Amino acid sequence: MSDVTQDIDLLTRQICDHETNWSLGTFGAIAEFAREPDEAVVVSRGDASIAVVTARGGIRIEWQKDMRLFASETTTRDSWNHRIALCLRTTRCGMNRRTVLTELGNDSEALQERDRAATLFDLGLGALQADLCVRVTDPHVAAELRPHVGRALFEPGNPAMAVILAASPHRVFVSRVGRIEVFQPIPAANGESPKGPHTHVLPKLLRHQRTHSATEAVPDGWIPCADLYPAHAVRDGCGNRRSFDVLRHAAFQSILQDYGDPEFYALKQRVIASVAAGDHPTVVRTPSDRFARTIVRVTLRQLEAANGVSPSLTSWLAAHEPADRLGGEEPDSDHG
């Protein structure tokens, strides 16, 4: 792990980069923050925090001396994704874990002063590492919600969610490392999530009571309390494909070396060297660990994107990729 000064420098650079996307929440309920390159933004710094706010939402990250930044890569349908998880130990990450709709009073920690008199309601979704809330400015909407305080949000016959969907208040997701606020309207049930800041709340996934996706590599004993997705080599900040960008790729590989799993990083370097030397795929013994297998596939996809195919790379891809992936290109998922 690196020192706090290095961590703060990295997070400051990332939060000021319009191509870096962020998420905060839990498995089944997530808030995402992203912004356009030409979007007006207000940046503010505190003694131990930095925040950016646009007309569509905002994020604040708060430095924690015992926070661990952990970088990783994973496959998407036909490409790869990367992230840096802002982790706290299991014993340090816990929030309030309310399980019923709860009125919390004014949101005194709101990113904008004008929102600090609004009323915060915890949705009561019981997440370990995040409080998942809505912020209500309309007193009539607050009055509609108050009779249902103390009830589980998804309890049969509870109209609270219908009130929230109709009013579309700000969503405020908070963890011990910061908060994301979403100002954009909640889309209709059959509508698409808007570009930029938005939230997802999926009751079926919440029932699993997981802190994060099984595909997200996190060190044992640590819980991701927010995630950031730095500029990507083959996608822009909006997810659109672009030609392989050597500098962006190199930038994340440097982060991976400093903040990733050292054994996985070493495995990646062995694969790169073996492909370059024309070695047979069996030369590098891949551990049975699912994340190690993923690292090999990510590495091969990156070599393919950077250099195109070669006889050596073709044999490695055939050994490690599913046959259906080799047969044709599929659209990537957003964050893996």
Per-residue pLDDT tens for 130-170?
999 999 999 999 999 999 999 999 999 999 999 999 999 99
Please list, residue by residue across 106-139, b when 16 or more beta carbons sit within 10 angstroms of its beta carbon and e when fewer do. ebeebbbeebeebbbbbbbbbbbbbbbbbbbeee
254 residue type, one letter? S
Tokens 């938005």 correspond to what residue? Answer: 198
Write out the chain's pLDDT in tens, 336 residues. Answer: 457 889 999 999 999 999 999 999 999 999 999 999 999 999 999 989 999 999 999 999 999 989 999 999 999 988 999 999 999 999 999 999 999 999 999 999 999 999 999 999 999 999 999 999 999 999 999 999 999 999 999 999 999 999 999 999 999 999 999 999 999 999 887 778 889 999 999 999 999 999 999 989 899 999 999 999 999 999 987 788 999 999 999 999 999 999 999 999 999 999 999 999 999 999 998 878 899 999 999 999 999 999 999 999 999 999 999 876 654 433 333 443
Cα–Cα dist 74/291, whole Å: 8
| Contact partners, residue 213, CB within 8 Å, separation at least 6 | 27
Per-residue pLDDT tens for 37-70?
Answer: 999 999 999 989 999 999 999 999 999 989 999 9
| Contact partners, residue 144, CB within 8 Å, separation at least 6 | 163, 167
Chain-centre distance of CA 27, in angstroms? 11
User: What is the phi-psi region of residue 105: left when phi exceeds 0, alpha when psi lies from -120 to 50, beta otherwise?
Assistant: left
Cα–Cα dist 27/49, whole Å: 25
